[in-house]
Amino acid sequence: MRKLILIQCGAAVLALGPRIWARSAGQDAELRPAVAEVELTLGEKETKTDLMNRAKNQARAEALANANGVRVDSITAVNNGKVLLDLVNASARGILVEGTFRELPPSDGFRYRVKFEGKALPPRQIHLDPSFTVKVAVDQDGVFRPGDLMHLTIRSTADASIHVFNVFADGSVTVLIPNRYHTDKTIRANTDLVFPSPAEEQQGIKLKAALLPNQKDASESIVVIATKEPVDLVGSDFKEAILKEFDAGNTGGITQLALKLLRLGDAAWTQSVETYRIVGVR
């Protein structure tokens, strides 16, 4: 999985592999069947892996449209990062729950046919409380070179519990707060929370910008979700493995997060997104 922002503890980069969340009993009543079958042909400059990924993305998008009758304009709109970046609009078109793929014949070197079977949350309009807001900002005017250290400043209009996520260009998501060393999710009203704090940096906890090999630049995002009451959106396994991650396609974990927020009620939560760039040396 790609990582352009890393929490580095001392000299070691620590991370947790992707996990799939199981749904709790009783949630199926809220979901609709989402099924689609897609067959695509290999493009001129496309690898077989590219073809498989394109077909699976399109199958997910068509399954969501079939379930809810709402067209998904971009096939990337069903990945974890896109859902998390805009939960309000994602909820308006419905959110795809993780399903399964089944490869169908004919699937050869030039054609790929696949069927997706899953479930989807029905569309729902969300109206957030305008008096309850959270803001996140990054330093350096949001432009970083590889190796630069990043600091986040978060402020809420009310006492709140926060979760902070890093959304990468490929749609994968890493949970920054909470983590093993920063378990307290509380933020006080109209008070800046800086992450990592100077004390955390002295412990070796740093956010460091990085690019993949041969990558010239990247646009990524920080997402903060604030809730008026304490709520666990991501589970507790970060306590054992530093960071929790979700890859782009395994949408189960982000779906669970959305379900929890919807059950809290529209006035009980809010979110903020800040985009930044990492620019390589040319």
pLDDT tens for 183-204 read 889 999 999 999 999 998 888 8
Q: Shortest CA distance to 112 belongs to which of 56, 35, 63? A: 56
- For the entire predicted model, the pTM comes to 0.76
Q: Shortest CA distance to 210 belongs to which of 147, 276, 281, 142? A: 147
Q: Does residue 22 or residue 216 have the better pLDDT?
A: 216
Q: Does residue 133 or residue 237 have the better pLDDT?
A: 133
Q: Which CATH architecture has domain 5-21+127-279?
A: Sandwich (2.60)
Structure tokens at 146: 């590889």
Asked if the model's pLDDT at residue 217 lies above 60, the reply is: yes
pLDDT at 257: 80
In the predicted model, what is the mean pLDDT of the chain? 80
